[in-house]
Amino acid sequence: MPELPDVTAYVSALEARIVGQPLDRVSIRKPFVLRTLDPPLASLEGRVVTEIRRIGKRVAIGLEGGFWLVIHLMIAGRLHWKAAGTTAPTRATLAALDFPNGTLVLTEAGSKRRASLHAFSSWKAALSLDAGGIDPSQIDLASFRAALEAENHTLKRALTDPRVLDGIGNAYSDEILHAAKLSPILLTQKLDDAQWLRLYDATRATLEFWIGRLGATAATEFPERVTAFREDMAVHGRYGKPCPVCGENVQRIRYADNETNYCPECQTGGRLLADRALSRLLKSDWPRTLEELEALKRGAQPK
């Protein structure tokens, strides 16, 4: 799912292309994508785009008269910019927004239809989609700590809860926790002052780095290759590959459709965290350390 740095890149790219342009036409190719009936889309056509904002992981397009179109890409949705007159509908196309200088196309891969388009008659109404989390790039340490400490959850859950923090998902939470050298299952109410400072600094630094990196690309070309798996990431999507800091193999925890990646050497003191699927299978034989894991792979007993 596109997260805060990715959505910020989309916002920057769209500001350069459609602010000041009239919305000529909105074409809905898959009816399920439109989640509102009022205001009707036809009433928005001809209105000039005034600004682009971010609402969590959503892209919000402001139109004259106070109207807003809000796009949520969910996991497999993506935005594409096509030259005027060159768009051709595909099976993945959900909607298209035509402007004099080009077309913004919303697509979604796969069979699970989760992406959405909402239309609102005011910014206040658009904010009904905001889960209420604070912007992690705009807060001080005390506010950051208070937000995450309000309930006793694992760091992974707290970082990715949109009611707590705004815009962080599976990918960047893995990167933040690796940079902070903290276990994803450490409970928020168990952190000491030094750990809170590391987590705060890692959150700000990680987001700042990727916002800058992706924003620089968006300044020259539309972000067509938005992905949760990037070559320069330290642990996310790198299961079995060496940690760039210590060289130990990156491990994972899998639950439903989600996967958490971490370095046991850097983050958990060499302890392996239980993968739910495998731990149910192996039960008491689940390896607790890297040495036990290597012994299990060799079919031998650890010393």
* 250 CB-contact burial (10 Å; exposed 0-12 / middle 13-18 / buried 19+): buried
> Which residue type occupies 62?
G
Q: Are 191 and 123 in contact (CB under 8 A)?
A: no
Q: What is the distance between the alpha carbons of residues 116 and 95, in angstroms, rounded to a whole number?
A: 10
Q: Are 72 and 95 in contact (CB under 8 A)?
A: no
Q: What is the mean pLDDT of residues 46-70?
A: 97
pLDDT at 256: 62
pLDDT at 84: 85
| Total-model pTM | 0.88
Query: What per-residue string of b and e applies to 29-63 under the rule 16 or more CB within 10 Å gives b?
Result: bbeebbebeebebeebeebebeebebbbbbbbbbb
* Per-residue pLDDT tens over the stretch 107-152: 998 878 899 999 999 999 999 999 999 999 889 999 999 999 999 9
* Residue 21, number of CB atoms within 10 A of its CB: 13
> Which residue type occupies 275?
D
The residues spanned by each domain of the chain are 4-129, 134-271
* Per-residue pLDDT tens over the stretch 23-50: 999 999 999 999 999 999 999 999 999 9
* Per-residue pLDDT tens over the stretch 160-214: 999 999 999 999 999 999 999 999 999 999 999 999 999 999 999 999 999 999 9
Measured N-to-C along each axis, helices 193-218 and 4-18 cross at an angle, to the nearest 10 degrees, of: 30
Q: What is the mean pLDDT of residues 46-67?
A: 97
With bands split at pLDDT 50, 70 and 90, how would you rate the model's confidence at 228?
Answer: confident
> Which residue type occupies 95?
A
Q: Which of 64-68, 92-96, 225-229 holds the top average pLDDT?
A: 64-68
With bands split at pLDDT 50, 70 and 90, how would you rate the model's confidence at 284?
Answer: very low
Q: What is the mean pLDDT of residues 230-256?
A: 92
pLDDT at 303: 44
Q: What is the mean pLDDT of residues 266-295?
A: 61
With bands split at pLDDT 50, 70 and 90, how would you rate the model's confidence at 287?
Answer: very low
| CATH entry 1.10.3720.10 includes domain 134-271 | no
* Per-residue pLDDT tens over the stretch 77-101: 999 999 987 766 688 999 999 999 9
pLDDT at 88: 65
For residue 158, pLDDT beyond 70:
yes
- The CATH homologous superfamily of the domain defined by 4-129: MutM-like, N-terminal (3.20.190.10)
